[in-house]
Structure 1
Amino acid sequence: MMSKNIWCAIFLVIAMISCKKGGAKPEVKVDDKIPAGSTSFRVVGYLRAHNVEDGQAIKFDLSKITHLNIAFINPDAAGNFTTLDGLSALVAAAHAKNVKVLASIGGGLAPAYYTTLIADNSSRAKLVSSIAALTDQYNLDGIDVDLEGTFVDGNYEAFMVDLKKVLQPKSKLLTTAIATVYATQYTNKALAQFDFINIMSYDKTGPWKPEKPGQHSPYNMAVEDLDYWAGTRGIAKEKLSLGLPFYGYGFGAGVREDMTFADIIKTYPGAEDKDEVTVAAGGTMYYNGKTTIKSKTTLALQKAGGVMVWQLLQDAGGANSLLSIIDAEVKAAKK
């Protein structure tokens, strides 16, 4: 995906786009409450595959998410998947909490051979079969596709169609993570294959663009992204999940290039209620604090069908947990 790992992959595209600073965050009032007892509003959380293997996975409250995406589980150059230790146990734990688990394939630095694997009917069919077998092996609830940039080529649509044909009879979900910067590369037919779409509404700028310092995930970006996919592209709002970052980017002297939200508020006391911190040396760390995450969740409750988090283990604990802020807003909307 996603977040800080896509710097090199998206540099050329972002270079053509002007980086706008975030504007004020107007209060959003939810006109329609979520029906009592409804679980239709999604809270999708991403988790790194290596955290599954090293046993660090369950350091968040499973009851506060509805879908868990494991990023990234990719095949080898022949289209075969290797064993991921700990995944079966994690799936069982998640299912015990009524959380659906998906394997997320691709990523901002996806293996270059994906282009070859989906290039013709034969290799694509083998990959699709391997992916379907992966969902059976670990009792997964579906597949999340995060192919970006040049990977969304003339063969992408056929890949999605073929994958849907195999997963749907198994009652498996097919979802995707997309960035609006690549919007014109996704055909309407390809988008129609997905059960829901996670919008990566972040990484507007970052360390790969040092001459463009500023907020990488401003509130107005969330508004514009939702307006584009629901309005311009005509996708039902219920199929859209608004991406929320649990990390920040630093520009200038005295700040790190990237930090988790947990590290930001530990390093800069009082930062939890802000969106940026400027240090004595002159550098600034930009991120989404508690107030902005709450505002974006309220926006999503009105204009989308869920939110998506990159990524869960970057969150702080206790009263400063961004996931808890999201959970509180969703529960309040159900009352």
Structure 2
Amino acid sequence: MASCKKQGADYAVPDTETNSNKTDVNAIATTNFKVIGYLPSWAGEVNQVQFSKLTHVNYAFILPTASGGFQSLENPAKLKSLVTAAHANNVKVLVSVGGWNDGDDSAFESFAKSASGRTTFTNNVVNLVNQYNLDGIDIDWEYPDSGTSGNNYALLMQQLSTAMHNKGKLLTAAVVSYDGPGVQNSVFGYVDFLNIMAYDDEGANHSTYDLAVKSLNYWKGRGLPANKANLGVPFYGRSSNEYVDYKTILSRGGSPNSDSFSGIGYNGIPTIKKKTNLGFDQGGGIMIWELSQDATGANSLLSAINQVVVSRGSLAAQ
């Protein structure tokens, strides 16, 4: 997930009680189209967020500790401002826990392996949600492996699901584009939705339309309900050696109507619109990494998404 990098084979799952695709009866209904934007602690201003075109904003990131606590939240004043502004516009705010963190998921692995660690973490999540008046929590563990790690992830998500849904809050998670055996099928019933990171494939062609189709097919093929499948799109491009914000690509001379410029692959307006329609036809929403990378005015990718949302007759709903 480029989102996480800035923060720096398909396996069969046994149909056991832990891994069955049962549904949490307390899960909040999310049947309408969602537009979810990540806003990093280190980039973007709250007063620049186009709240009228979003349903949810995920504040990224807070890092867990090995004992199930949290490291210090970056820029807490920004989060408070975000919550105030978003709620005034009927937009929900979640905090995303984890991220790429240079590939270090050892804290997740450490606390999730014991019942006491999972309980400590869950209690700290509840306290965080209460402290900042959040609408839920987004878990971005990159990545639980199959086997013991996946079992612990499922147990953690089950406990978080109960804690969040008992308070009328959301539980979501970011997942790899495809080939994610560490996320067991039981998790589908615990979450309100999954944000599928259909980007950061190899090289400049890192987020093609074909990858979007493949990603949705993978998760839905495993049993994820379509209305819980949010297709991730990038507001940045990649070359063989750099990540570049969409707005920077345009400032260098790239076209908003193209998908490549000077060796950089990105999603221009036509592709973003095509993917948004795919999200309507095959999923439950669109997820964006990340809002500060967008251009303004007629070149805005979020505005392109919104044009499709309006044309499809959907009032984006939380």
Q: Give the TM-score, by structure 1 length.
A: 0.80
Name 1:164's counterpart in structure 2. 161
Name 1:74's counterpart in structure 2. 63
Following superposition of structure 1 onto structure 2, how do residues 5-154 of structure 1 map, counting pairs within 5 Å?
A: 5=5, 40-51=32-43, 56-81=45-70, 82=72, 84-109=76-101, 112-150=106-144, 152-154=149-151
Q: Any idea what SS the aligned residue of 1:184 has?
A: coil
> Match for 1:178 among 169, 175, 179?
175
* Residue 262, structure 1, aligned to residue 254, structure 2: no
> Could you tell me how far apart the structure 1 residues matched to 2:281 and 2:178 are?
23
- The AA in structure 1 aligned to 2:206 is H
| Distance verdict in 2 for CA 1:308–1:4, change over 3 Å | same
> Could you tell me how far apart the structure 1 residues matched to 2:286 and 2:98 are?
20
Q: Any idea what SS the aligned residue of 2:239 has?
A: strand
Which structure is larger by alpha-carbon Rg, 1 or 2? 1
- The AA in structure 2 aligned to 1:70 is Y
Instruction: Note the residue ranges of structure 2 that are not aligned, 5 or more in a row.
Output: 10-29
Deviations along 1:109-131, one digit per CA (max 9) or x if unpaired, are: 25522211111011211111001
Q: Any idea what SS the aligned residue of 2:249 has?
A: helix
> Could you tell me how far apart the structure 2 residues matched to 1:229 and 1:174 are?
18
Deviations along 1:243-286, one digit per CA (max 9) or x if unpaired, are: 110000113xxxx61100000011024x21111123xxxxx111
Name 2:184's counterpart in structure 1. 187
Identity of aligned residues (%): 40
Deviations along 1:161-187, one digit per CA (max 9) or x if unpaired, are: 111111111001000111134422211
The answer to whether the 8 Å contact 2:41/2:59 transfers is yes
> Could you tell me how far apart the structure 2 residues matched to 1:187 and 1:244 are?
23
The structural deviation recorded for 1:153 is 3.2
The structural deviation recorded for 1:319 is 0.6
- The AA in structure 2 aligned to 1:176 is A
Name 1:34's counterpart in structure 2. none
The structural deviation recorded for 1:89 is 2.3
> Could you tell me how far apart the structure 1 residues matched to 2:4 and 2:161 are?
29
The structural deviation recorded for 1:7 is 11
Q: Any idea what SS the aligned residue of 2:312 has?
A: helix
Deviations along 1:38-65, one digit per CA (max 9) or x if unpaired, are: 98110000010234xxx82332211110
* Residue 205, structure 1, aligned to residue 202, structure 2: yes
The Cα RMSD (Å) is: 2.3
Name 2:21's counterpart in structure 1. none
> Could you tell me how far apart the structure 2 residues matched to 1:323 and 1:205 are?
25
> Could you tell me how far apart the structure 2 residues matched to 1:233 and 1:67 are?
26
- The AA in structure 2 aligned to 1:170 is K
> Could you tell me how far apart the structure 2 residues matched to 1:183 and 1:114 are?
17
> Could you tell me how far apart the structure 1 residues matched to 2:58 and 2:42 are?
13
The structural deviation recorded for 1:4 is 6.6
> Could you tell me how far apart the structure 2 residues matched to 1:3 and 1:103 are?
13
- The AA in structure 1 aligned to 2:89 is K
Name 2:212's counterpart in structure 1. 222
Name 2:24's counterpart in structure 1. none
> Could you tell me how far apart the structure 1 residues matched to 2:301 and 2:134 are?
26
> Could you tell me how far apart the structure 1 residues matched to 2:114 and 2:4 are?
31
Following superposition of structure 1 onto structure 2, how do residues 237-256 of structure 1 map, counting pairs within 5 Å?
A: 237-251=226-240
> Could you tell me how far apart the structure 2 residues matched to 1:235 and 1:86 are?
34
Query: What is the count of residue pairs matched by the alignment?
Result: 286
Name 1:29's counterpart in structure 2. none
Q: Give the TM-score, by structure 2 length.
A: 0.84
> Could you tell me how far apart the structure 2 residues matched to 1:330 and 1:41 are?
8
Instruction: Note the residue ranges of structure 1 that are not aligned, 5 or more in a row.
Output: 14-37, 207-213, 279-283
Q: Any idea what SS the aligned residue of 1:178 has?
A: strand
> Could you tell me how far apart the structure 1 residues matched to 2:216 and 2:31 are?
21
Name 1:311's counterpart in structure 2. 290
The answer to whether the 8 Å contact 1:148/1:182 transfers is no
Q: Any idea what SS the aligned residue of 1:72 has?
A: strand
